Structure 1
Amino acid sequence: MPLSRPTRTALAVTAAVLSVTVTACGDTGGLRGAGAAPTANSPARLWPELPPASSPAFDFDEAETKIVKGVTVPGDDIRTVDPVAVVRAEIAADPGDYQGDKARYRGTASRMTDCQEGADGCPVLQPYYRDLTGDGHDDLALGFRLLPGELTAVRVYTVEKHRLVQVMSYEDALSAVELAGRSVIVRSPSEVAGYEYRLQWTWDAEQKAMLLTHDEMLRTGGGTRFPQESPQRSRSPQPSASASASASSR
């Protein structure tokens, strides 16, 4: 017959007392204190006299979504979409970054001319499919190299009202990219020795976008430094229009 909860508790307490007694008898040094416990401190609010901000000073594009023009989704199945066509659509929509002598990523555009997924020299990386939005259908996690340089673009797409919609966009020098549940986790090297950046985007059903929910620097245990090679993090804040106007598996 299983013991009741009060009986089990009483037996456990008795056993613990006997264990302490036996141990104490065999220890000529007796019981020893571990020292004073640290005092728990509640968060201290700094500068409480400052009025709360009414609008953000910088625009991180954290909830920005874009409809991908020129790319159809047959049967609303995102696996039917050509990843190369998706990257070409982005280049066409943003020629300032990809075309012209002064374009930052003109190397990407030039290599996309005869690009086929998986071919040597093609900037488009292997696509991955996962239900990141929780609607029961696959979404697309897509990466492609930004050339010249060491940056990699990470994008997430979903299907909404028969249209392909970009719900996450980020680029950086990458150490790793992971999918976990409804989240995309990006790891990037830090200029501080032994540390890396870890950024996590998570799907938000109200915003219908992947929101940046974690941005932290973690110790990796290594000692490698990136004083010159690591580019500036692409998430460096840019003044928003409002702020400027006011002074802003497979």
Structure 2
Amino acid sequence: MNRHCTSRRFRFPFHALPALALLPLLAGCGDTGGLVGAGATPTASGPVHLWPDRAGATVPPADPGGAPPEYVPGITPVRDQDVHGVDPVALVQAELRAHPDTDVGADGMPSETAAAIRACGTEEDENAEAGTAACPVLTPYYRDLTGNGKDELIVGIEFPDKMMSVRVYTADPDGRLNRIMATTETVISVELAGRDVVLRVPSGNRGYELITAWSWDEKQLTMLPTREQIVRLPSGPQGPASRRPGGEPVRP
């Protein structure tokens, strides 16, 4: 052991601290808690524009991709913009009456699903076989998605083959219900993250999922798909309970 190595603490003025990283370490002396150089720092570099002289393509603005907002007719106006008292089954039934026999688009649904929704709450629904969810309208959820301090109503409708329609409704100051989101996907799971509705769907590539976050857009006055991410699934059987939040991002 080097007997000339002594344990000392040094005090430096605050403005001198950045220069300490340049001080060499004393060979053979133990670390007594003093400041130690962190080594070389990689040089930061910004994005590099490839082929800068090439003229880029000119394309028209893209369609935002969300369903336009639409008031639901035939529903009693709500008070104080409180959607908690709205019957989700009656709400979807009102939409069926407004858009009968619609197969595609925001209101599109299979005929057997539409028939089951019309039967919700009837004797036919009550006499359904045990273990069969005769009414496709699921238990609703509530969350302030627009940032106005009032909850929105989030409704899920089960379609055949694991497909699902996810719809979101808000109430305006006059009490009218306005549908601000409607999308139909082959859904693995639906999650709420802050003010976003997050859908996980199969990506088309084995072992991967596509995660889409729908967010409120004040300009369009509707929910739009604002972020998409392809994630790799961990190996082994997967289910909503065992899937890690967010998955593992795909890297090049």
On whether the aligned pair clears a TM of 0.5, the verdict is yes
1:233 alignment counterpart: none
1:82 alignment counterpart: 87
Displacement after TM superposition at 1:190 (Å): 2.2
Change (3 A) 1:175 1:11: same
User: What does 1:1-250 align with in structure 2 at a 5 Å threshold?
Assistant: 7-8=13-14, 10=16, 14=20, 17=23, 20-22=25-27, 41-44=47-50, 48-50=54-56, 52-56=58-62, 59=63, 61-62=65-66, 64-75=68-79, 76-97=81-102, 105-116=110-121, 120-146=133-159, 148-160=160-172, 161-222=174-235
Displacement after TM superposition at 1:167 (Å): 0.5
Secondary structure at the residue paired with 2:219?
coil
Change (3 A) 1:128 1:13: same
**Cα distance between partner residues in 1 of 2:87 and 2:60:** 43
One-letter amino acid of the counterpart of residue 115, structure 1:
C
TM-score of the aligned structures, taking structure 2 as reference length: 0.67
Secondary structure at the residue paired with 1:178?
strand
Change (3 A) 1:6 1:177: farther
Percent identity over paired residues: 35
Which runs of no fewer than 5 residues in structure 2 stay unpaired? 1-10, 31-38, 127-132, 238-252
Displacement after TM superposition at 1:143 (Å): 0.5
Q: Deviations over 1:102-154 (max 9, x none)?
A: x85112122123314x98321011100111111111111110112x3321000
Secondary structure at the residue paired with 1:187?
strand
Secondary structure at the residue paired with 2:169?
strand
**Cα distance between partner residues in 2 of 1:188 and 1:41:** 31
CA contact (8 A) 1:193 1:223 kept: no
Displacement after TM superposition at 1:8 (Å): 4.7
Displacement after TM superposition at 1:23 (Å): 7.2
**Cα distance between partner residues in 1 of 2:176 and 2:50:** 48
Which runs of no fewer than 5 residues in structure 1 stay unpaired? 26-32, 225-250
Change (3 A) 1:50 1:12: closer
1:234 alignment counterpart: none
Q: Radius of gyration: which is bigger?
A: 2
Deviates more, 1:42-51 or 1:128-137: 42-51
Count of aligned pairs between the two proteins: 206
Secondary structure at the residue paired with 1:112?
helix
Displacement after TM superposition at 1:159 (Å): 0.6
**Cα distance between partner residues in 2 of 1:211 and 1:104:** 21
**Cα distance between partner residues in 2 of 1:125 and 1:214:** 26
One-letter amino acid of the counterpart of residue 94, structure 1:
H
**Cα distance between partner residues in 2 of 1:208 and 1:177:** 22
2:241 alignment counterpart: none
The RMSD of aligned alpha carbons is 3.7
CA contact (8 A) 1:195 1:217 kept: yes
CA contact (8 A) 1:63 1:207 kept: no
TM-score of the aligned structures, taking structure 1 as reference length: 0.68
Secondary structure at the residue paired with 2:59?
coil
Change (3 A) 1:152 1:211: same
